[in-house]
Structure 1
Amino acid sequence: MNILLTSSLLGVAAVVLQAATAAETLKVSVSVWPPGSNVYLGECVLLQCSVESNSSFVWSYGWLKRSPHSAPPTPNPRHLVFGDSYSITAVTREDTGSYQCQARRWDSNSSSVEFLSQTATLSVSELPSASLLTLTPSTRQFFREERFTVQCPVSQTNSSGWRLKHFPPISGVRPRVSNTDPYSPGAAVSAGRSDRCEFTADSGNSGLYWCQGAEGRSNAVYITVSYGAIILKTPAFPVFEGDKVVLVCQYWVGNHSKTTFFKNGAENFTSPGSDRVIKMTLENVTQEDEGFYKCASQDRKMESPEAWLSVSPHRGNFTSTDERAASNSGFVPVGVGRFLKSDYKRWSFLQPSRT
């Protein structure tokens, strides 16, 4: 395991890279959800860093990625870093590569110690048409008590079929993957089936969903259940150029005289309507319409979480604008921090666009 020691003496920073075993019992690892190295275009993937240690130190985390470029790439809004988690919204081919976690802690003498995990490799491919998960209605954000259904693909063999899996976000605790069943929060298996679940949304329903079976797995989607006052509903899966897309701003209560929609933080459209549900329609979308959207009340006292809209140039083929990413080698990371190695042309840190 690589360990990086950083100390400060009389205002001069000294950096020493050692290849050694920590005195304490410690293991840093990266897990990928859904499990496996094969990920599908257009789906959501979550990487989680975990530290198994016999100490009580508080850890901070950084993330590294194998890159085709010697210089740090531009921060990607689809890549979100939050604590020990790294999520990729709407995977593209440029996400192919090897990922690594860096765990750092500070000692009482103002020195930091950083540990690197082993790499986790992601290989991006197109989703087989027979392996598509269905979410009804198609949105990643739901209000509490709303109803939604997750349906696994129809089995193509005589096997026992698909089983719906759920990976919940549990802060500070290592989450467990569970099969959805009648005892899951808010879930009801349809007619005794394990491949289709109807939910009444509550906090326990947030998280990553996918289907697993003898034929492999489906694509994955991340669902968030809100207890706030306003949400924005965008399609849960990539739409295609030329499609008509409706974005739905929904208030928990009351009618509102004016609602403003934002794209990537800038005002995009203002609706004068007075209702609990306000819609914005995008005709003939292009990839320029891709981005983070949110909505807010006229006085800005109520503002929805951002929701990602993904636009693909070809139906059934979520391509990247940079196909070279899968064929070149070299390493650069994505995470908060500074240079990790002295050979900075290969290792560096980026400030993610959102944390």
Structure 2
Amino acid sequence: MNILLTSSLLETLKVSVSVWPPGSNVYLGECVLLQCSVESNSSFVWSYGWLKHSTHADPPTPNPRHLVLGDSYSITAVTREDAGSYQCQARRWDSNSSSVEFLSQTATLSVSELPSASLLTLTPSTRQFFREERFTVQCPVSQINSSGWRLKHFPPISGVRPRVSHTDPYSLPGGAVSAGRSDRCEFTADSGNSGLYWCQGAEGRSNAVYIKVSYGAIILKTPAFPVFEGDKVVLVCQYWVGNHSKTTFFKNGAENFTSPGSDRVIQMTLENVTQEDEGFYKCASQDRKMESPEAWLSVSPHRERLQAVELPATKQDVTEVQWDLSWMEMSN
């Protein structure tokens, strides 16, 4: 037996959705994280599900950019189709094997293009790093004053109350603020550096990027931000140790290219990319004993500015997301 309740009806329990970076407006091409939290006096173990309200009349199709892990819902490389209202369902089971579900209030996202003066820079431009690699996150150049931006970091800790660090010499693990520059931070990658980064200032905020630090044997590096049609793109397969003969690249699970070279770093070049090149890529050793996590390549069709996408006041369809499965595909 399932019972569905709205959290606002219960004084002792509150289910809410937080958006990171904070705010209802998100930018094309960035990464966004929604987190469900339950404030309760009980010690129940909770499982989570998600609802997305859309205005599309067509049936929802699986969207690999939408991923869920426990109480977190992440969107990689935001597009205009990601505008909509999102809700979290928190479920607990009673001793008599019946479940009770609590529904959060909606979190509504609108999508617009990032202002050119608000661009965060990541060097090198990739979302995946090996431990001990160095990278730099640079906030935009402020139009107001030299210290107008501060770098923010949201770590990927499921089930923990959100805590955002900002740039000072002690708050970002593995990071060191450049001399006299609170808007620039240099890192030697370790597990504490994984998470969402963005810059905040009097002028608003920058785009956000999700960085993952790997302790595995192989990773694939794709551009951290969307590329444009016609660009030349280099995908880099990198091993932690040793040289490896023949490395195979895959796109959306299908074999795409095999390099005969023998090295610790293997490249695949895409000339004049189109939107057909967009997708999840990975690489693997010849014997398939080493296989990288998938990395998303986002391709934008043009460079013209786009207007914000608001939600029209029409009847909405609701997509229900399955419960608490590890990094499963979401529906748009």
Give the TM bin, normalised by the shorter chain. 0.7 to 0.9
- The alignment partner of 1:173 has SS state of coil
CA–CA separation in structure 2 for the residues paired with 1:147 and 1:235:
16
Decide whether aligned partners of structure 1 residues 123 and 275 sit closer, same or farther in structure 2, where only a CA change above 3 A counts: same
Do the aligned partners of 1:159 and 1:214 also contact (CA within 8 Å) in 2? no
CA–CA separation in structure 1 for the residues paired with 2:5 and 2:212:
38
CA–CA separation in structure 2 for the residues paired with 1:73 and 1:217:
31
Do the aligned partners of 2:237 and 2:265 also contact (CA within 8 Å) in 1? yes
CA–CA separation in structure 1 for the residues paired with 2:133 and 2:181:
21
User: What CA deviation, in whole Å up to 9, does each residue of 1:106-156 have, x standing for no partner?
Assistant: 112121111100011111111000000000000000000000000000001
CA–CA separation in structure 2 for the residues paired with 1:112 and 1:309:
40
Do the aligned partners of 2:67 and 2:328 also contact (CA within 8 Å) in 1? no
Which has the higher Rg, Structure 1 or Structure 2? 1
CA–CA separation in structure 2 for the residues paired with 1:234 and 1:349:
20
Decide whether aligned partners of structure 1 residues 3 and 215 sit closer, same or farther in structure 2, where only a CA change above 3 A counts: farther
Which portions of structure 1, spanning 4 or more consecutive aligned residues, are displaced by more than 6 angstroms? 5-10, 345-351
Decide whether aligned partners of structure 1 residues 72 and 113 sit closer, same or farther in structure 2, where only a CA change above 3 A counts: farther
Decide whether aligned partners of structure 1 residues 131 and 5 sit closer, same or farther in structure 2, where only a CA change above 3 A counts: closer
CA–CA separation in structure 2 for the residues paired with 1:107 and 1:252:
47
- The alignment partner of 2:179 has SS state of helix
User: What CA deviation, in whole Å up to 9, does each residue of 1:192-245 have, x standing for no partner?
Assistant: 311000000000100000000000000000000001100000000000000000
CA–CA separation in structure 2 for the residues paired with 1:145 and 1:349:
26
How much does 1:7 deviate?
20
How much does 1:105 deviate?
1.4
How much does 1:305 deviate?
0.6
Please identify which structure carries the higher strand content.
2
Do the aligned partners of 1:64 and 1:349 also contact (CA within 8 Å) in 2? no
- Name the residue aligned to 2:123: 136
- Name the residue aligned to 2:3: 3
Decide whether aligned partners of structure 1 residues 190 and 67 sit closer, same or farther in structure 2, where only a CA change above 3 A counts: same
CA–CA separation in structure 1 for the residues paired with 2:145 and 2:206:
18
Do the aligned partners of 1:293 and 1:307 also contact (CA within 8 Å) in 2? yes
- The alignment partner of 1:8 has SS state of helix
Q: CA RMSD in A?
A: 4.4
CA–CA separation in structure 2 for the residues paired with 1:282 and 1:301:
26
Do the aligned partners of 1:206 and 1:222 also contact (CA within 8 Å) in 2? yes
Structure 2 residue ranges without an equivalent (≥5):
306-320
How much does 1:180 deviate?
2.3
CA–CA separation in structure 2 for the residues paired with 1:64 and 1:8:
17
- Give TM-score scaled by structure 1 length: 0.82
CA–CA separation in structure 2 for the residues paired with 1:244 and 1:221:
21
CA–CA separation in structure 1 for the residues paired with 2:328 and 2:218:
32
CA–CA separation in structure 1 for the residues paired with 2:113 and 2:328:
28
How much does 1:259 deviate?
0.7
CA–CA separation in structure 2 for the residues paired with 1:350 and 1:177:
26
Do the aligned partners of 2:65 and 2:330 also contact (CA within 8 Å) in 1? no
Do the aligned partners of 2:119 and 2:139 also contact (CA within 8 Å) in 1? yes
- The alignment partner of 1:43 has SS state of coil
1:217 to 193, 202, 205: 205
Q: How many residues align?
A: 314
CA–CA separation in structure 2 for the residues paired with 1:53 and 1:32:
20
- Name the residue aligned to 1:177: 164
CA–CA separation in structure 2 for the residues paired with 1:180 and 1:9:
39
Do the aligned partners of 1:259 and 1:270 also contact (CA within 8 Å) in 2? yes
Do the aligned partners of 2:68 and 2:329 also contact (CA within 8 Å) in 1? no
Do the aligned partners of 1:7 and 1:112 also contact (CA within 8 Å) in 2? no
- The alignment partner of 2:182 has SS state of coil
Query: Is 2:236 the partner of 1:236?
Result: no
- The alignment partner of 1:78 has SS state of strand
Decide whether aligned partners of structure 1 residues 204 and 196 sit closer, same or farther in structure 2, where only a CA change above 3 A counts: same
2:294 to 306, 313, 327: 306
Decide whether aligned partners of structure 1 residues 7 and 218 sit closer, same or farther in structure 2, where only a CA change above 3 A counts: closer
CA–CA separation in structure 2 for the residues paired with 1:178 and 1:3:
38
- The alignment partner of 2:62 has SS state of coil
How much does 1:174 deviate?
2.0
Quick check: 102-111 or 112-121, which moved more? 102-111
Quick check: 250-259 or 157-166, which moved more? 157-166
Structure 1 residue ranges without an equivalent (≥5):
11-23, 316-322, 325-344
Decide whether aligned partners of structure 1 residues 161 and 218 sit closer, same or farther in structure 2, where only a CA change above 3 A counts: same
- The alignment partner of 1:130 has SS state of helix
Decide whether aligned partners of structure 1 residues 349 and 110 sit closer, same or farther in structure 2, where only a CA change above 3 A counts: farther
- Give TM-score scaled by structure 2 length: 0.88
- The alignment partner of 1:278 has SS state of strand
Decide whether aligned partners of structure 1 residues 294 and 121 sit closer, same or farther in structure 2, where only a CA change above 3 A counts: same
Do the aligned partners of 2:3 and 2:99 also contact (CA within 8 Å) in 1? no
Do the aligned partners of 2:63 and 2:329 also contact (CA within 8 Å) in 1? no
Decide whether aligned partners of structure 1 residues 2 and 196 sit closer, same or farther in structure 2, where only a CA change above 3 A counts: farther
Do the aligned partners of 2:247 and 2:266 also contact (CA within 8 Å) in 1? yes
1:349 to 315, 327, 332: 327
Decide whether aligned partners of structure 1 residues 9 and 168 sit closer, same or farther in structure 2, where only a CA change above 3 A counts: closer
Decide whether aligned partners of structure 1 residues 220 and 118 sit closer, same or farther in structure 2, where only a CA change above 3 A counts: same
User: What CA deviation, in whole Å up to 9, does each residue of 1:301-334 have, x standing for no partner?
Assistant: 111111000000002xxxxxxx99xxxxxxxxxx
Decide whether aligned partners of structure 1 residues 280 and 350 sit closer, same or farther in structure 2, where only a CA change above 3 A counts: closer
- The alignment partner of 1:149 has SS state of strand
Do the aligned partners of 1:207 and 1:223 also contact (CA within 8 Å) in 2? yes
